[in-house]
Amino acid sequence: MKASYYGRNFAFLSKFLSPVFSLSGFETTISIRAVLSRRVPSLGGYDEQHGPDDIYPLSIGCLGGIVFAGLHCIGWSFSFPTHTENILWRTASLTMGCSGAVNLLFAVHTFWWSRSSLAINEPFLLVGSIGAYIYIAARVTLIVLMLSSLRSLPPGVYDTVAWTKFIPHV
């Protein structure tokens, strides 16, 4: 997507917005390697047309993110090494769910406002990209918290399991 497409106000964001929209299917870029190898294009093809079916992949992605955040909310009352990590886990889980919900509501609102296609306008680009980056930051926070919780495992983890009790043998 060209920097001029974002308008004068968002030209500086084009470097950061391109990966998000390329992966979501709103932006189609033709790489030189793809043209020379004559391979089948991915993520929607080479056309620049957007139709009424564009809302479905975006909605499925947002709903998947909300469900994934809901699974992380199951750990709401789990024990964490510190109270700060507990608060970070809760905040990151809620942030993931809320950013997916905001993106979904904004996309559906934009779709119904235009009635025919997913109108890619500057507010939609801004809200969508900010929501995507907030989701990514919350997800990275959860991954870091998961890895940091390995430093204080319960003592039962180090017990040797007698596998012969669980495997029936002759």
pTM over 0.85: no
pLDDT at 96: 94
Q: Which of 20-29, 106-115, 132-141, 150-159 has the lowest mean pLDDT?
A: 20-29
Task: Measure Cα distances from 155 to 72, 159, 160, 166 in Å.
Answer: 24, 8, 11, 22
Q: E strands along 80-143, which residues?
A: none
Handedness of CA 29, 34, 38, 43 (dihedral sign): negative
Please give the average per-residue pLDDT across 72-86, as a whole number: 90
pLDDT at 1: 45
